């Protein structure tokens, strides 16, 4: 089985990268995964494909001007994908739902298509910021492209039950949707030392409340300011790490700055977990994305987590008995005791490492 997967190796899509790495390690003898992007140097059965044609043209234009604009915006990625198709025989191509090319790939290249639901761009755009009425037509154009891919997909896969339910409700889909185990999106081995983290703590009087993930309306990083009254005995600093969603000429990061100037939006290329100190940092997720695993990574790295009741990963925290703060509570915020954070990390790590090749979700749709 030769599977070509979409742009899942960028830092913005760490969870999907872990999923494919985990699956490749488990099925390396049977399946070869080819993938794109930075960080695609691969363990297991994954191999990288060089970008030989980036920027060399674009996908076929649609009839709608806004659809055409969206396709042109991602033309370099489409050419990257097409260069990968020439690297060898491909039985199946897996494309994420946040790129608009599924129907074009199916029509032009004649390969089986697995459409992986990992956040729908039209939904993120529609929920972004209500004061931008000019987005309405743009959102409709994105939705049409997504629906075209859904219509031609041979298989559709969701990263959680919540993602599946939202997809069925929003798109009126009546076909089969496979649901993956969320632990498959967790790192099996994480370089995290409790002694190293404890040695870094300087007992400072500033509490960092941070958000990590895409900057858009679904994830709602601008709501960090609502937590300020719950911080006592500390000065509070609000920070956001992540890629800014761009629609037409508007950057989501600029909208956040206009709504909540108290939040520092970091543009550092470093990983947030290498910058922050888990002894004086709370990772808050105020949004309502159906799939968003960054809070789980924070718990794995010894951080205190504060979750919205609408967060898609809340079920994972509840299922494994993790201790966390609720965003909707009024209780005082302070880092959880060290022993509690270690216990959270151990429970998540045990759950992730406990998944074996026998898991049905490892072999979902492995057919031609």
Domains along the chain with CATH numbers: 2-180 (3.40.50.2000), 194-353 (3.40.50.2000)
Closest to 341 measured CA to CA, from 281, 294, 271? 281
Residue scoring higher pLDDT (10 or 273): 273
d(CA 117, CA 202): 42
Cα 184–Cα 101–Cα 64 angle in degrees, nearest 5: 140
Q: Which two tokens stand for residue 195?
A: 């002694």
d(CA 90, CA 28): 16
Whole-number average pLDDT of the chain: 78
Strands (E), 53-212: 92-96, 112-117, 155-158, 178-179, 206-212
Residue 278: band (very low, low, confident or very high) from pLDDT cuts 50, 70, 90: very high
Helices (H), 220-359: 252-259, 272-275, 294-300, 314-319, 338-353
Confidence at residue 221, expressed as pLDDT on a 0 to 100 scale? 93
Confidence at residue 102, expressed as pLDDT on a 0 to 100 scale? 86
Residue scoring higher pLDDT (28 or 164): 164
Confidence at residue 188, expressed as pLDDT on a 0 to 100 scale? 73
Residue 166: band (very low, low, confident or very high) from pLDDT cuts 50, 70, 90: confident
Kindly state the DSSP code that residue 256 receives in the 8-state scheme: H
Residue 61: band (very low, low, confident or very high) from pLDDT cuts 50, 70, 90: low
**What is the percentage of the chain residues whose pLDDT exceeds 70?**
72
Residue 222: band (very low, low, confident or very high) from pLDDT cuts 50, 70, 90: very high
């Amino acid at each position: 089985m030769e599977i070509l997967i979409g742009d899942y190796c960028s830092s913005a899509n760490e969870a999907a990268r872990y999923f494919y790495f985990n699956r490749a390690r488990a099925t390396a003898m049977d399946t070869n995964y080819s993938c794109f992007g930075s960080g695609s140097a691969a363990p297991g059965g994954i191999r990288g494909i060089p970008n030989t044609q980036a920027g060399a043209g674009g996908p076929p234009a649609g009839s709608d001007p806004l659809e055409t604009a969206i396709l042109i915006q991602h033309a370099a990625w489409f050419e990257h994908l097409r260069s990968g198709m020439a690297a060898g025989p491909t039985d199946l191509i897996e494309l994420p739902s946040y790129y608009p090319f599924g129907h074009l790939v199916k029509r032009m290249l004649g390969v089986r298509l697995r459409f992986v639901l990992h956040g729908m761009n039209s939904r993120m755009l529609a929920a972004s910021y209500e004061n931008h009425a000019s987005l309405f037509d743009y959102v409709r154009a994105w939705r049409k492209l997504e629906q075209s891919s859904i219509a031609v997909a041979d298989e559709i896969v969701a990263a959680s039950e919540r993602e599946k339910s939202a997809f069925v409700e929003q798109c009126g889909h009546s076909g089969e949707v496979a649901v993956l185990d969320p632990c498959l999106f967790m790192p099996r081995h994480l370089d995290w030392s409790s002694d190293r983290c404890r040695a870094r703590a300087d007992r400072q009087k500033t509490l960092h409340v941070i958000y990590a993930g895409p900057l858009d309306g679904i994830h709602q990083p601008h709501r960090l300011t609502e937590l300020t009254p719950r911080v006592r005995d500390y000065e509070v600093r609000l920070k956001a790490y992540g890629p800014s969603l761009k629609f037409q000429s508007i950057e989501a990061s600029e909208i956040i700055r206009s709504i909540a100037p108290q939040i520092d939006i970091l543009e550092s290329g470093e990983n947030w977990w290498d910058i922050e100190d888990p002894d004086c940092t709370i990772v808050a997720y105020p949004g309502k994305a159906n799939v968003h695993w960054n809070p789980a990574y924070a718990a794995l790295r010894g951080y205190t987590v504060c979750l919205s009741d609408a967060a898609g990963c809340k079920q994972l925290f509840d299922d494994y008995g993790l201790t966390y703060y609720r965003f909707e509570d009024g209780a005082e915020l302070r880092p959880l005791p060290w022993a509690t954070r270690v216990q959270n990390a151990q429970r998540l790590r045990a759950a992730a490492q406990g998944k074996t090749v026998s898991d049905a979700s490892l072999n979902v749709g492995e057919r031609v």
